[in-house]
Amino acid sequence: MTTKFVKIFLRLAISFSFLSAVADRFGMWETSVSVWGTWDNFLEYTQLINPWFPESIVTVIAALATILEVLFAVCLIVGFKTTFFAKLSGILLLIFALSMTFSTGIKGAFDYSVFTASAAAFALSLIKEKCYELDSLLEK
């Protein structure tokens, strides 16, 4: 297994995980596999894992997280500033994992592999080898 392959795999795995979560918030997944299924359910979950924030700003927090996840996913897929966006992804995922841990307990963060995803994003940020093959495929 080459470093280039690992880097491409990490870029795509993190990106598609972000995009899948965003799609779920807008009901794009079948209800049998959906976690939230609707934006309102996602807002309730955001409040649940962030009880220290006033309810009046939960929508802002949820919208910001959603926008960042889409932005980070797109940048990682196309290979734009991969090191930078991988670090930001790691930070965002770590914040999410810690929010889950402090509000509902560590089991959920472990069960959903949020710490693992955060570690993967930080690992991606350390891989300096370029992946021109994927980048050139995505440009076509």
Instruction: Give average pLDDT by consecutive 10-residue segment, the chain, 140 residues.
Output: 91 98 94 88 95 95 98 97 97 97 96 97 93 55
The predicted structure's pLDDT at residue 129:
81
Indicate the angle between helix axes 39-49 and 3-25, nearest 10 degrees.
Answer: 110
Q: What is the pTM of this model?
A: 0.89
Count CA atoms within 13 Å of residue 94 on its CB side. 11
Rounded distance, CA 15 to CA 86, Å?
A: 10
Rounded distance, CA 45 to CA 114, Å?
A: 15
HEC-encoded secondary structure of 28-85: CCCCCCCCCCCHHHHHHHHHHHCCCCCHHHHHHHHHHHHHHHHHHHHHHHHCCCHHHH
The predicted structure's pLDDT at residue 140:
46
